[in-house]
Amino acid sequence: TDPVAVLALFKEYGAPKRLSLIFEGESLFNDGTSLALFLIVLEIAVAGYHGIGTLAEGTFMFTTMVVGGVLFGLLMGFVFSRLIGRVNNNEHIEITLTMLVAHLTFILTEVLSHHLVLFGQEIKFSSIIATVMASMVIGNYGRFKISPRVEEYMEKFWGYFAFLSNSLVFILMGLLFAALPIQFEHFILPITITVGVVAIGRALSIYPVVGVVNWMKKEAPIPASWQHLLSWGSLRGALAVTMVLLIPDTLTLPGWAYDFTVKEFIAALTIGCVYFTLLVKATTIGPMIRRMKLADLTPLESIEYHESRALVTSQVLARLQDFREKGYIKEEVYQELKQDYTKRYEESLEACQACFRQGAEHMGRALQAYALGVEQRFLHELFVYQEITESEYKEILNKIQIQLARVEEGEAQLSGVSERFTKDWFEQLVDWVRDGLRPRSQQTLIMEEYRYYRAQEIILNKVIRRLRALHERYAGLFGDAAVFEGTMVLYEKLRADALKKRDIAAEKIGSELSFLNESFGRAALHKAEEKALDELLENKMLPRKIGIMLYNDIKGGVV
């Protein structure tokens, strides 16, 4: 399946995030395994079937392709993650490394597959599976090693690069379609049958499997409406055409006496199926999402929509007042605009109150969701200022995201900051390798504990101050006073707990605590220097030559 177009439609219509994740993840693993199986079938078609020995050889090849691809992809992903971590604030090099890990993993896997022989047996690795695994490592582990200042460049580059690559693929597909020496009107029936077979096969790969997953109750159930979209939304694209191009031009079958080759016939069926999914399935996914009401706002999202609209309108009113005081607009224009935006603010506030009346339990959840967003913002600032390490940042971020999921599902919040959550398998693998090569001392573990609870205390304190300021300025926007005080009691309790844990860890650190706090201060001031210099350069208040010299001074600790 090709998820690019489907995910774009999901994003446009606001489909559930979990559905998009399932769709994309299934497609990635689908690509690797399907190509591995295809290459084995193609090998049998070319070399011929010779009984049980052929099946054994095919099974061995499939196993080595999958296992070898996974291991080699992990290796490449972690190697390039380390390389990215060694580059500091250089968007060109860091972006280039992310491009290299994708292309180099694919190329090196192909080279190994053509030259690796053990005990007279060719060993083949799946280049797609290796590339997928390397990309997953970069996306889940290496992304935190990307310099904070480069994150914006990275997102924009890969967003455009994905758009460009996908566009080129479909242009090339059209050229291939036009170049086939086949009269397609003679293949309407075979293409129609192929489309039907593919649709049935897709349905059989979705409904029974998801039914088993839901029956096992290992995670939240996948609704029937999601299953319908997973089945119908399986667009075909680049990989299917790539497979066809791998078929030898000389491949034939006994009794084949047509004017076109086997490869051209399969290409016609494949491209016909691809165009059916693009012209029929892709154009009906949007109406399906609307009919199944997957794009409708949940009660919590409705409250967040009206609250955000009220906050934005309030900011506009403040800016409008500033324009008036500075004489940018005339009095009659000011009064007209003020009346318009004041009405919008009051409408949003009334809409919030109406939502609260329909479900009072959503008041606290909306406030907690806002608070968790504030937590995530200040956590990122601490990471940028190097006041916490990468592992501590990821652990706290994981905790915040789990809390947010709990809020969205209406589940209970944390009872204390000591609650920890299981790390994903990438982090477990990294910890296992790191501790095996260089075990951490007891003192190192205590200092990590201190930084962890110190960061928690700082973040929670900022959230408390932000919530109190918000309540004073926008009374009633996030619910009544009782709901607000309940949330504040929770955050005060969490902050006191974090402060207590931090002080306990500080006592264990002893004399090294002052050195640690000094390093925090120096790192924060270092970032403040860079920020001030960036502002001067962005406002064209400083020659570039002087800016470079000052950057070098900051790195050397002169400024």
pLDDT tens by residue, 494-508: 899 989 988 888 888
Burial of residue 531, with CB atoms counted within 10 A of its CB: 0-12 exposed, 13-18 middle, 19 or more buried: exposed
- Per-residue model confidence (pLDDT) at position 302: 85
> What is the C-alpha to C-alpha distance for residues 277 and 282, in angstroms, rounded to an integer?
6
pLDDT digits (tens, 9 = 90+) for 264-276: 888 888 888 888 8
- Per-residue model confidence (pLDDT) at position 514: 65
> What is the C-alpha to C-alpha distance for residues 531 and 14, in angstroms, rounded to an integer?
36
Which of 146-160, 315-329, 350-364 has maximum average pLDDT?
Answer: 315-329
Q: CB under 8 Å to 361, separation ≥6 — which residues? A: 410
In 3-state terms, the chain is what percent helix, strand and coil (to 5)? 80, 0, 20
Residue 385 in tokens: 């200022």
- Per-residue model confidence (pLDDT) at position 526: 73
DSSP class of 278: I
Q: How confident is the model at residue 106 (pLDDT cuts 50, 70, 90)?
A: very high
Q: CB under 8 Å to 550, separation ≥6 — which residues? A: 533, 542, 559
Average the pLDDT over each of 83-92, 109-118, 477-486 and give the range with the smallest value: 477-486
Half-sphere exposure of 236 (CA within 13 A, CB side): 23
* pLDDT higher than 90, residue 212: yes
Average the pLDDT over each of 1-5, 60-64, 121-125 and give the range with the smallest value: 1-5
Cα→Cα distances 21→366, 409, 536, Å: 24, 17, 41
The whole-angstrom distance between residue 354's C-alpha and the CA centroid of its chain comes to 34
What SS3 state is found at 332? helix
The residue-averaged pLDDT of 81-96 equals 85
The residue-averaged pLDDT of 362-381 equals 85
Contact 362, 299 (CB under 8 A): yes
Which of 68-82, 238-252, 264-278 has maximum average pLDDT?
Answer: 68-82
- Per-residue model confidence (pLDDT) at position 304: 85
Percent of the chain surpassing pLDDT 70? 94
- Per-residue model confidence (pLDDT) at position 1: 60
DSSP class of 150: G
- Per-residue model confidence (pLDDT) at position 104: 94
- Per-residue model confidence (pLDDT) at position 210: 92
Q: By C-alpha distance, which of 395, 368, 367 is closest to 379?
A: 395
Q: How confident is the model at residue 207 (pLDDT cuts 50, 70, 90)?
A: very high
What SS3 state is found at 313? helix
The residue-averaged pLDDT of 10-14 equals 78
Average the pLDDT over each of 309-318, 475-484, 487-496 and give the range with the smallest value: 475-484
* Better-predicted residue by pLDDT, 111 or 300: 111
Amino acid at 2: D
Beta bridge partners of 122: 117
User: What phi, psi does 410 have (nearest 5°)?
Assistant: 75, 25
Q: How confident is the model at residue 555 (pLDDT cuts 50, 70, 90)?
A: low
Which own/partner contact pairs does 242-247 have at CB distance under 8 Å and 24+ positions apart?
243/35, 243/38, 243/270, 244/270, 246/38, 246/39, 246/42, 247/42
**Which pTM was predicted?**
0.78
The secondary structure of 65-134, three-state, reads HHHHHHHHHHHHHHHHHHHHHHCCCCHHHHHHHHHHHHHHHHHHHHHHHHHCEECCEECCCCHHHHHHHH
In the predicted model, what is the mean pLDDT of the chain?
83
Q: How confident is the model at residue 2 (pLDDT cuts 50, 70, 90)?
A: low
- Per-residue model confidence (pLDDT) at position 512: 66
User: What phi, psi does 422 have (nearest 5°)?
Assistant: -65, 135
Q: How confident is the model at residue 197 (pLDDT cuts 50, 70, 90)?
A: very high
Contact 413, 368 (CB under 8 A): yes
Which own/partner contact pairs does 58-67 have at CB distance under 8 Å and 24+ positions apart?
60/121, 61/124, 62/36, 62/37, 64/123, 64/124, 64/125, 65/36, 65/39, 65/124, 65/125, 65/126, 65/129, 66/32, 66/33, 66/36, 66/126, 66/129
Q: How confident is the model at residue 559 (pLDDT cuts 50, 70, 90)?
A: very low
The residue-averaged pLDDT of 65-76 equals 91
Residue 158 in tokens: 């890969």
Cα→Cα distances 115→121, 445, 523, Å: 11, 45, 49
pLDDT digits (tens, 9 = 90+) for 151-176: 878 888 888 888 888 778 778 777 87
- Per-residue model confidence (pLDDT) at position 209: 92
> What is the C-alpha to C-alpha distance for residues 23 and 148, in angstroms, rounded to an integer?
29
pLDDT digits (tens, 9 = 90+) for 499-542: 998 888 888 877 666 666 667 777 777 777 777 887 887 777 77
Q: CB under 8 Å to 117, separation ≥6 — which residues? A: 123
* Better-predicted residue by pLDDT, 85 or 423: 85
Q: By C-alpha distance, which of 416, 399, 395, 404 is closest to 372?
A: 404
- Planar angle of CA 329, 332, 338, nearest 5 degrees: 80
The residue-averaged pLDDT of 39-43 equals 86
Cα→Cα distances 48→42, 63, 180, 469, Å: 10, 20, 27, 76
Q: What spatial distance separates the first Cα and last Cα of the chain, rounded to whole Å? A: 55
Return the sign of the alpha-carbon dihedral for residues 279, 284, 286, 287: positive
pLDDT digits (tens, 9 = 90+) for 300-313: 888 888 888 888 99
> What is the C-alpha to C-alpha distance for residues 495 and 501, in angstroms, rounded to an integer?
10
The angle, 0 to 180 degrees and rounded to 10, between the axes of the packed helices 262-276 and 151-179 is 130
